[in-house]
Amino acid sequence: MIRYFSIFLVLLFSIKSFSQTINNNTIVELTKKEDSLKILGAKILQDEFTSERIKADSAFTKLFVRALKLNNSFYFPFDSVISVSKLYAPDSSFRIFTWQIMINEQEFVYHGAIQMNTNDGSLKLFPLVDKSNLIENYDDTITNNKSWIGCLYYKVLMNSFNNKKFYTLLGYDENTDTTSKKFIEVMKFEKGEPLFGGNYFGFPKNDSSNKPHARFVMEFKKFAGPKLNYDEEFNMIIKEQLVSETNEPSRKSTLIGIGDYDGFSWKNGKWVFEKQVFDQNNNSNPPFEKNQ
C-alpha cells in the first residue's frame, strides 16, 4: 500500500499531460495493473518452458483487456510494459499494440489489438488474430483484424488521398530459425473496421517487382537486420537492398543487406518505388534509424 501511495505522489507531477482526460484514481488502478503486466510480459519472453510462456500470455491478455476497459485508458502509456510494441497513430485516432510469443525456434505467434480513441473514453477494441499459418501468399492477400498477418509493428505513418486517410505500418516478423521478415503494410478503416493491405504500391514497368502487391515483404537471413524505415528528411520509406551471400537469390536464408538503398514515396495514393536513393559510394547520408 505504501508503495502505491508513493507511486501516486510521483504521478502527481506528471499527470498534467493527460489530467483533463483521465482521473487520478484510474491512474493509480492502471499503474497497479501495469506492474502485473510487466511481470507477465517478461515471462512471455523469457520463460524456459513453452507451456509457461503460453500460460503467462493468456493471463497477460485477460489482464490487459481489463486494464483497457478502465475509462480513458487510451491516454495511459503503459511505458514499463516493454514486451509490447505501443504505437499511436499520428492523428491520435487509435493506437496499436503488438507482441509475440515463441512456441519453438520454428514458430512464433503474434498477438495484438487496435484501441480506438472514443469521445466518451469507453473501450472500442479490435483484437488482432494471427492467421499467418493459413495465408499462403502475403503479397496478394487483403486481411482484416480477424485474419491478421502477425508481426511486431515498429512504425505507423499517416497519409491522405481523395480525402481518405491511410495508415502505413512497418512490421517485423521473427518467422523461422533461418529467416526473418519485414513488412510495409497499408491499413485503412472501411465501415469503421480495419482493413490491411491493398493496391498501394507502384513499380516501374521494367522492374521485376512490377506486379500487384497487397503489402511489401522483405525476407532475409536470420539476424541480418537490413534497414526498412521511414526517413523524415527525405519523406520516404527507405529499404536496404539485399543480395545472396552464396549467389542463390531464391534462397531467402542467404540474403543480407549491402548498404545500398531504395525508397518508396507516397504519390497519388500509392507508395511509388524509387531505385538507388542512397548508396555506400555517394555523398548522401543513408538512414540508420532506430536499428530497423
- Summarised one tens digit per residue, pLDDT across range 131-182 is 999 998 888 899 999 999 999 999 999 999 999 999 999 999 999 999 999 9
How many domains does the chain fold into? 1
Give tens-digit pLDDT for 64-107: 999 999 999 999 999 999 999 999 999 999 999 999 999 998 89
- Measured N-to-C along each axis, helices 50-68 and 24-46 cross at an angle, to the nearest 10 degrees, of 160
* Angle, CA of 158, 160 and 163, to the nearest 5°: 140
| pLDDT beyond 80 at 273 | yes
22, part of any domain: no
Which grid cell is 181? 521478415
First and final C-alpha spacing in the chain: 41
Instruction: Name the amino acid, one letter, at 258.
Output: I
CA 194 to chain centre: 14
68, part of any domain: no
Q: Let me know: does 213 contact 264? Beta carbons within 8 Å.
A: no
Bridge partners of 147?
A: none
109, part of any domain: no
Per-residue pLDDT at 175: 93
Give tens-digit pLDDT for 108-138: 999 999 999 999 999 999 999 999 999 988 8
242, part of any domain: yes
| pLDDT beyond 70 at 54 | yes
Residue recorded with cell 493527460: 18
244, part of any domain: yes
User: What is the side-by-side order of every strand in the sheet holding 201-202?
Assistant: 201-202, 270-278, 255-267, 236-244, 228-231
Please give the model's pTM, rounded to 2 decimal places: 0.88
How would residue 259 be classed by pLDDT, with cut points 50, 70 and 90?
A: very high
263, part of any domain: yes
HEC letters along the chain: CHHHHHHHHHHHCCHHHCCCCCCHHHHHHHHHHHHHHHHHHHHHHHCCCHHHHHHHHHHHHHHHHHHHCCCCHHHCCCCCCCCCEEEECCCCCEEEEEEEEEEECCEEEEEEEEEECCCCCCCCEEEEEECHHHCCCHHHCCEEHHHECCCEEEEEEEEEECCEEEEEEEEEECCCCCEEEEEEEEEEEECCEEEECCCCEECCCCCCCCCCCCCEEEEEECCCCCCEEEECCCCEEEEEEEEECCCCCCCHHHEEEEEEEEEEEEECCEEEEEEEEECCCCCCCCCCCCCC
Cα 133 to Cα 108, 110, 130, 170, 199, distances in angstroms = 10, 11, 8, 20, 23
Cα 179 to Cα 109, 164, 263, distances in angstroms = 15, 36, 22
249, part of any domain: yes
Give the range of the structural domain holding residue 264, as residue numbers without chain letter. Answer: 154-292
Bridge partners of 85?
A: 98
Bridge partners of 228?
A: 239
